[in-house]
Structure 1
Amino acid sequence: MDPLQKKDLENIWHPCSQMKDYENFPPIIIDKGEGIYLYDIHGKHYIDAISSWWVNLFGHNNKRINNALKKQVDSLEHVIFSNFSHKPAIELSEKILEVSPKGLSKIFFGDNGSSAVEISLKLSFQYHKQIGFKNKTKFISLKDGYHGETIGALSVSKTPLYSEIYNEILIQTIEVNSPNCFRCPYLKTRETCNTECFLEMEKTIKENHQDITAVIIEPMVQCASGMKMYPKEYLIKLRELTKLYNINLIADEIAVGFGRTGKFFGVDHANITPDIMCVSKGLTGGYLPLSLVITTNEIYNAFYDDYEKLKSFLHSHSYSGNPLACSVAIETLNIFKEENTLDKLKHKSKYLKNSVENLFKDLDYVGEIRSMGMICAIELVKDKKSKEPFDFKDRIGYKIYKIALENSLILRPLGNVLYFMPPYIITNQQIDEMINIALFSYKKFFK
């Protein structure tokens, strides 16, 4: 074991890990990054197929973003954001509203995805309280949804792996079964579906609408539960129903925003405007922590009054509106606009999808391949006909991940789902390299 690895394990508790695994599989110490590649301290390179937890859009060591950060650090690193402001925050606000769904007009700054969700939940609850709907205290969220790790965010995250152990201290919410296109309980396919799965949501809202303040949802893709993709019609119906019953729709765009699904935001597929939208991750191109909660004038105005009436939203973070983070977020948005990123991704995402399907679709343990934009997922099953899943405890994905790492590819599966979410700068040749290593790793494990 390298001395740096030893020092790491003496002091550091890594996230989303069973540290006992590190006894035989110590952390890889990364020294530098360039494009889609990361390089460890021994010079070995790795393809970053997951954009370093879905945040890196335009490659590591991106010169444009580097220069924006260097320029900003020479003028202002941080300032309290209460009663003070600065040019990067103002410019970022203008630019993000230009690409946001029509009707979103006010921005509240946070510093990570979980904090954005916490802000959204509190905003919705306080909003309804202040406009006279004091019974609206409950949240609806989808089974297998994921919205973060803090207590409020975890309360609306219905993926048991992350939340079950904390049930006794979580906020009580209403859970509705999520769309499951691969194992549809209505025996429909993606081609024959009429969003029958929405019936449960409709019934739940109609029966409980007087108590519901908001529905929170990951638009188009439930990422952490295995890249589960569902039709835009579900979002359209949900928006119509929440409007009818004065329920806020919170769109958690943290993982799916900024082009990842092929549209700038996931809700753009359905051409809807949520009441509250959370963004983070790709916002800064993978450089610095920052999140935004984007909402409507209607919600904003419910908090606008004399201070004495205590209608203010008394929520803050020390690093809210950090100028360094705002400056790289501005450059990220500039790259989208000036380099026609979304147009380029149309061709690249099609190549990614076709390449994965050509190599994986006929393999014995591949149950489904699902793609949307620059997300492509492969769900592994014991039996293709019955769709019987592998036991989570078998750690099939984890074992394939280790083989891939030995061969210079970072996969980081979600249970038994292998997925590709590479930086947008990846070339077709690099896509081929990435997929072929994944295929080799699959075949080596199942040989």
Structure 2
Amino acid sequence: GAQRHAGDAQRTTVVTLSGGYHGDTVGAMSMGFIRAMHRPFEPLTFRCARTQAPDPRRVQGLGEPGLWPSWDEQRMRAARDRALDALAQLLEERAGRVAAFVVEPVVQGAAGMLVQPQGYLHEAAAMVREAGGLVVADEVATGFARTGALFACQLEEVRPDILCLAKGLSGGYLPIAATLATEAIAGAFEGEPHEGRTLYHGHTYTGNALACAASLASLELLERRRLVERGARHSERIRAALFEALAEHPHIGDVRNRGVMTGIELVASRDPWTPFAPAVAAAPRVCDEARRRGLFVRPIGDVVVFNPAPAMDEATLERCLGILIDAICAVDFTRPATDALAATPAGAAD
């Protein structure tokens, strides 16, 4: 809409990253289409221009043998450069037609906590703007101290044209979301009624007073308890604990972390990189084992997602890490899931 009001009606192409996730409405599914989740609704979606996400797992023949891909600076740089080259090519092919680049900054959550290499977002945003597009940062998952900064964009010194927020805005207590935009974009929808510039995208519960009050209280606590700094400290501890316990584990293909956002990818073989067969159900079995021990974590494919609250105290974080590590080490990945479940003692899941 802002591009149209600015006289660029031909700019209708939305650029997104492969593996991106932006929600489950028709528009959001179109921008972040994940087949396993959205396949039944594919006929309803509109086309976006997808470009490859920077993924060090795809970089072969470089780096230090045995080092997790996201910990290998050489592979991360190569992944960044390849992804930027792909974006440059797409922008050239769609010259004059790009409306916006919609991105989860720094960490792609539903992609398995895929952490972008340093410098990627900064360069990508500059390229998109040079091509005349807007930068839309979806910080629904990454915002409010989860990446070691208040907003993930700050880690890359990027000021988006549109910033999407939710979840952490109220600390998870009540549903609320906010869309922030620059003055230039907001101004594009201002004018006399007969000009037809009004943005009519209102919602029934917009400005809910109770949710807004909860959000104000949450933001005050976030600042007073210095949760941004605490989240950064948690990141250091998470990385240290997982490296110490799992660096030599034959089935840990990668540990990805930024702030408290962490993904532990399980593989049949690290070298050569070989995913598990679906029947193994590696990550779900780890999550089941952790639940039996008192910790709820979730699987995304073969990735175990560990995403503790930035407000969590150090003692609780240590307890969670201990349970998670014990759960991973307790699973026999050489056995199919059905055999493993059959061997589970009666009542073990109670």
Q: TM-score, normalised by structure 1?
A: 0.69
What is residue 204 of structure 2 aligned with on the other side? Answer: 318
Whichever residue aligns with residue 214 of structure 1, its letter is: A
Shift of 1:428: 2.8
- Give the 5 Å matches for 1:239-318: 239-318=125-204
Whichever residue aligns with residue 356 of structure 1, its letter is: L
Partners of 1:310 and 1:181 lie apart in 2 by 47
Asked whether the 8 Å contact 1:159–1:225 carries over to 2, the reply is no
What is residue 342 of structure 1 aligned with on the other side? Answer: 228
Shift of 1:209: 2.8
* Alignment deviations for residues 318-351 of structure 1 (CA, whole Å, 9 cap, x no partner): 1011111111111111112222222233322211
What is residue 428 of structure 1 aligned with on the other side? Answer: 314
Asked whether the 8 Å contact 1:276–1:296 carries over to 2, the reply is yes
Asked whether the 8 Å contact 1:127–1:299 carries over to 2, the reply is yes
Identify if the C-alpha distance between structure 1 residues 374 and 393 changes in structure 2 by more than 3 Å, giving closer, same or farther: same
Shift of 1:303: 0.8
Whichever residue aligns with residue 37 of structure 2, its letter is: Y
* Structure 1 position 215 matched with structure 2 position 101: yes
Whichever residue aligns with residue 152 of structure 1, its letter is: G
Asked whether the 8 Å contact 1:351–1:428 carries over to 2, the reply is no
| RMSD of aligned alpha carbons | 1.7
* Structure 1 position 167 matched with structure 2 position 42: yes
Partners of 1:360 and 1:302 lie apart in 2 by 52
Q: Number of residue pairs matched? A: 322
Percent of aligned pairs with the same amino acid: 25
Shift of 1:136: 0.9
Shift of 1:164: 3.1
Asked whether the 8 Å contact 1:157–1:163 carries over to 2, the reply is no
* Alignment deviations for residues 2-49 of structure 1 (CA, whole Å, 9 cap, x no partner): xxxxxxxxxxxxxxxxxxxxxxxxxxxxxxxxxxxxxxxxxxxxxxxx
Q: Secondary structure at the match of 2:173?
A: coil
Partners of 1:392 and 1:145 lie apart in 2 by 22
Partners of 1:341 and 1:442 lie apart in 2 by 28
* Structure 1 position 131 matched with structure 2 position 6: yes
What is residue 66 of structure 2 aligned with on the other side? Answer: none
Whichever residue aligns with residue 441 of structure 1, its letter is: A
Whichever residue aligns with residue 166 of structure 1, its letter is: F
* Structure 1 residues not aligned, in runs of 5+: 1-125
Identify if the C-alpha distance between structure 1 residues 141 and 389 changes in structure 2 by more than 3 Å, giving closer, same or farther: same
Shift of 1:187: 4.5
What is residue 293 of structure 2 aligned with on the other side? Answer: 407
* Structure 2 residues not aligned, in runs of 5+: 64-68, 334-350
* Alignment deviations for residues 126-178 of structure 1 (CA, whole Å, 9 cap, x no partner): 11111111111111111111000111000011322223332222111111111
What is residue 182 of structure 1 aligned with on the other side? Answer: 57
Query: Which of 142, 145, 148 is matched with 2:23 structurally?
Result: 148
Partners of 1:339 and 1:439 lie apart in 2 by 28
What is residue 33 of structure 2 aligned with on the other side? Answer: 158
Shift of 1:405: 1.3
Partners of 2:59 and 2:10 lie apart in 1 by 34
Asked whether the 8 Å contact 2:13–2:100 carries over to 1, the reply is yes
Identify if the C-alpha distance between structure 1 residues 421 and 250 changes in structure 2 by more than 3 Å, giving closer, same or farther: same
Partners of 1:407 and 1:279 lie apart in 2 by 33
Partners of 1:218 and 1:246 lie apart in 2 by 20
Partners of 1:296 and 1:337 lie apart in 2 by 24
Asked whether the 8 Å contact 2:276–2:282 carries over to 1, the reply is yes
What is residue 341 of structure 2 aligned with on the other side? Answer: none
Whichever residue aligns with residue 385 of structure 1, its letter is: D
Q: Secondary structure at the match of 1:351?
A: helix
What is residue 272 of structure 2 aligned with on the other side? Answer: 386
